[in-house]
Amino acid sequence: MQLFILGSLITPGIGLIFWTGVVFLLLFGILTKFAWKPILNAIKTREKNISDALASAEGALNDMRELRANNEKILAQARSERDALLKEARETKDSIIAEAKSKAQAEADRIMSSAREQIINEKNAAVADLKVQVASLSIEIAEKILKSELANDDKQKTLVNSLMKDVNLN
């Protein structure tokens, strides 16, 4: 019995062969036209897009790298130029300052010396003036004193005495 049934298991039925053939061919035709071709084309296009995008990204990256290298070079150049400029400026500044200092010193010295000279002159003039005034004052005072002192004898005597003392002290 088992063998008999096994026989029906491994005997292909004409009906199913027929229907499988028909259905498979129809299915293949329909799916190929309306599903596989659009899907495969879409996947292919997408893959192409992706690989293109990757390639262009790679290109852009390279460009970026080049650009960055250029930028760095320019930057380095700019930096060195700036350093040079700064150095120059510093030197100029130093020299200007030094010059100004020396000039100022010289000027100051000159002013000082002229001031000193003037002071001395002024002082001398003042001293001379003072001397003249003191002399006139002294004469005036002396005149007044003499007038008052010489008003009476006692006073004349005292004056003479005091004058004498002063003279002595001198």
- Pull the structure tokens for residue 10: 């491994």
Q: Which residues bind other proteins (CB under 8 A)?
A: 1-6, 8-21, 23-24, 26-28, 30-32, 34-40, 42-43, 45-46, 49
Question: Min. distance of Cβ 86 from other proteins in angstroms?
Answer: 53
Looking at the Cβ atoms of 39 and 130, the one nearer to other proteins is 39
Q: What's the angle, vertex CA 21, arms to CA 19 and CA 26, rounded to 5?
A: 95
Question: Min. distance of Cβ 33 from other proteins in angstroms?
Answer: 9
Q: What ranges in the chain are assigned the alpha helix state H?
A: 2-9, 14-31, 37-149, 153-169
Question: Min. distance of Cβ 59 from other proteins in angstroms?
Answer: 20
Looking at the Cβ atoms of 32 and 114, the one nearer to other proteins is 32
Contact 157, 167 (CB under 8 A): no
For every residue of 101-120, DSSP letters joined together read HHHHHHHHHHHHHHHHHHHH
Tell me how far apart the alpha carbons of residues 89 and 38 are, in angstroms, rounded to a whole number: 72
Residue that is written with structure tokens 């003072």 in the block: 130
Question: Min. distance of Cβ 2 from other proteins in angstroms?
Answer: 5
Looking at the Cβ atoms of 49 and 118, the one nearer to other proteins is 49
Looking at the Cβ atoms of 41 and 118, the one nearer to other proteins is 41
Tell me how far apart the alpha carbons of residues 71 and 102 are, in angstroms, rounded to a whole number: 45
What stretch of H or E contains 12? Answer: none
Question: Min. distance of Cβ 39 from other proteins in angstroms?
Answer: 5
Looking at the Cβ atoms of 47 and 122, the one nearer to other proteins is 47
